[in-house]
Every structure is written in C-alpha cells, then in structure tokens.
A and B are shown apart, each in its own frame.
Chain A
C-alpha cells in the first residue's frame, strides 16, 4: 500500500472532528446558535424550522446558480506535477480508517441501472481494457483542507456514451460498498476530467482510497467523489446523497 501506518494519526484528525461535529448537532446546536444570532442581530428567529427552511431554500438556489455556471463551461481544473503530490495522501470518510471496507476483485461486478441502454455489468478486467487517462489534481475537502493526488482510469463521459446512457438525463447516482451514496449532475459527469478511477499514483487503487473504483471529479468537493462504487444509475429523479441529505450543498462544485 502507498500509505505507511505512522501517517494515520495526523490523517485521522479531520474525520474525528467531523464526527464530533455531527454528534454535537444532535445535542446542542440549533437553539444555541440561533439564540446567539438573534441576540446579536436583534431579530427574533423564533421558529427554528422556519430558519432551516430558508437555509435549505438558499442551498437549492445555490445548486441552481452553480449548475448555471458549471453547466455552460468546461473550465478545466488546474493540474499539477508529480512533485506536488501529497504523500501520504489523507484518508477521509464518514468512518475511521480501521473500518475501511475491503472489496474483493474476484466476484466484483459494477452494476448499471436506470436510463442506460446496455446494462451489462462490468468486471475490473473489462474496465482496465478500456483506454485510460490520468491526472494530477487537487482534492478539496468540504472541511477546508486540500491535497494533491494522481488518479487514473476511464474517462467517464466516454464510458457513459459507450454504455448508451441517456446524457440528457439530470443525474448520475452512485451506490457504494461502504453504504455511502451520492449523486452528481450530468454536466459534471460529462466533464472531460471526470474519471472512473481505477488507480492512485499509477498503482491499483488501495482499499482506503476506494478499491475497486472511485469517481474522481476534480471540479467537485471530496465528498462528491464516491469510493468503492458498486452501482451507477442514470436518472431524472433527484437521488440526494449521504451527506447531502444532512445538509451539505448538493452541487458542491469547486
């Protein structure tokens, strides 16, 4: 594996904080911060759910604005050199590094569903036989940290065309072996840098980075880059996602 064990302590930090944050949201939080705000601004935010409704509406508005910006340009994310690659590259997930799911290559098949003509499943062997691309790009986490890495695999737009996906559909949704799920807009799915990644730094993707495959999207935040993908679905019904359903902005472009 690429990562040495001694690195895990520091890398563990962001996740631990995130988990603390999530726990905190159930216990304190809403009342307290709204109280503080109403004291400071003098306005009376009496109804918590009403304020939350406004915030959710604004987040959907931000989705629309981002779709308008990203949907009309194919601005490429900056690329970097081998020397810029962060070593060791941080591990991050909604669980700890000791709980990384191990998916076996043997028996693994990528399932396809929804608005796709050729729904035959794909083995890793077959995916590796397709033309491969690789890029060195910056992974930006919603928490604020960032790290440069190198991912290689199949150009996702080519893959979608090859399987006869309806590229007029709105969403592409992913279900993962670690019970994670997320979804992206079609414009981003078709972005030339979006890669169905099978390798990290030219080696087969290690389990902690998402073996057997990860969707690498350099124009979206880290949590929009699903790991351990088991199935891909093309759909017009908003699929949401693990974090998105809890309030992270759905589009989350960078």
Chain B
C-alpha cells in the first residue's frame, strides 16, 4: 500500500533532538534555579534535576544550549524556506480553534487527515514562541552586560530571569498537553519516527481552518 510522507526528515530530526535538548535544559535549569530561587518557597525536587552540583548543572545547561539553539534555528529556517509552517500551521482562525476545542471536549475531535487541526496549530506555534522567549531571555540572563539591546526588549537582569522562568513554565505546560494528545491519538507517534503514515480513506484535503 502506498503511504504518505507526513513528516519530512528534518522535522523528525529537529523534533527528537529538540526533545532531548529541552529535557537537559529544563532539568539542569531547575538545579540552577534551586541555587537561588526567584520565588520564595518554590524549589524543584533535587531528584528531577541534572548535574551533580550547581557547577555541573551550569555545564549541562551551557552545553545543551548549543544543541537547542542550533537545532531550533535550522528547523525555523528550513521550515520557513520550504513553506512547512505556512502549509501546516497557518492560518489559525479563532473560530476553528473554538470549534476544535469544543469537539475535543466532547471527545469528538476528528483526526481524519494528516493536516494539523486548529488546536495543534495553536499549540505548535505557541511552543515555538515560548522557546524563542526562553532563548532570548536566557541570553539576557547569561550576558546582561553584553546583550543590552535584548535586555532593552526583555527587561533588566531580574525581569529577564522571570521571563526565562515563565518561558520554561509554558514549555512544560505544552509538554504535558502534547504528551496527553499523543496518548489519546497514538497513531500519530510512529510517523513522527519513520515519517510515513497510512493514507486516510478520503484523500481530498480536509481543511480545518
């Protein structure tokens, strides 16, 4: 049977490298946070952190950072150049989002094409935004004296720390929902590894937006 290529190789490579990078960044970030918490009384369980002490966690963070940033840039540039984002993530109309959320809550969200539905579109665009927000605020936390143009956008060192924390929180919230959605529609999982999926019976484009 002929199969459809749903995820090109560069998307799959980005996706799994990014997942690994995010795990390393978040877990080492939690240890760095714990050394001097922003919010009194809020700290992360040591068992969920990466690095044997603050110095080790910083090493992990600033090593994984390169994987995260380079991988993200390659994905964004290729995705824009090939029209991937235009085709698969845009447009996102508010009406379609409300419709899809309603359907999802009634347990009836159709997954009858390889196009992303409106909820997916919002989440993917959202998490890419959250990753960029975390990246830019991270640069300000790392080099507040050097990247003063960026700190003009993000705010002072202390504000940048809060923005960086908020970005991490959004990414983690995305991961929870993302994994829940994959668990609900597990047939999406293998194609994210192999790239190929069985075509849906009705082959005409099933536009969600």
Q: Spell out A's residues near B (CB within 8 Å).
A: 14, 17-18, 21-22, 24-25, 28-30, 32-33, 36-37, 40-41, 43, 54-56, 58-59, 61-62, 69-70, 73, 75-78, 138, 140-146, 218-219, 243, 246-249, 253-254
Contacts and interface: CB of A to CB of B under 8 A. Distances in A.
B55 A248 contact: yes
8 contacts: A18-B35, A25-B53, A25-B56, A33-B27, A37-B27, A58-B63, A78-B145, A253-B146
B12 to A, nearest CB: 15
B146 A58 contact: no
B143 A247 contact: no
Nearest to B158: A146
B145 A77 contact: yes
B134 interface: no
Contacts of B157: 138, 140, 146
Contacts of A75: 145-146, 148
Contacts of B24: 37, 41
Given A40-B27, A144-B38, 6 more contacts: A24-B52, A36-B48, A78-B144, A138-B144, A144-B161, A253-B146
B32 interface: yes
Contacts of B48: 36
A54 B36 CA distance: 26
B145 A143 contact: no
Contacts of A24: 46, 52-53
B171 to A, nearest CB: 15
Name the residue in A144, A145, A253, A254 with the highest tally of chain B Cβ atoms < 10 Å from its Cβ.
A144
B54 A21 contact: yes
A254 B146 contact: yes
A54 B63 CA distance: 9
Contacts of B47: 32, 36
Contacts of A69: 143, 146
Nearest to A41: B20
B51 interface: yes
A11 to B, nearest CB: 12
B50 interface: yes
B192 interface: no
B187 interface: no
Contact of B35 (A76, A143, A249, A253): A143
A248 B58 CA distance: 8
Contacts of A76: 145
Contact of A218 (B34, B55, B59, B145): B145
Nearest to A219: B145
A219 B60 CA distance: 23
Interface in B145-174: 145-146, 148, 157-158, 161
Nearest to B19: A41
B49 interface: yes
Given A75-B148, A144-B161, A253-B145, A17 B35 contact: yes
B36 A141 contact: yes
B62 interface: yes
Given A55-B60, A59-B59, A144-B33, A18 B144 contact: no
Contacts of A249: 58-59, 62
A21 B35 contact: yes
A14 to B, nearest CB: 6
B90 interface: no
Given A17-B35, A55-B63, A59-B63, A254 B54 contact: no
A219 B33 CA distance: 21
A30 B52 contact: yes
A247 B20 contact: no
A189 B22 CA distance: 36
B121 to A, nearest CB: 27
B55 A243 contact: yes
Contacts of A18: 35, 54
A28 B3 CA distance: 49
A189 to B, nearest CB: 16
A58 B23 contact: no
Contact of B144 (A54, A143, A246, A254): A254
Contacts of A145: 36
A156 B58 CA distance: 29
Contacts of A37: 23-24, 27, 50
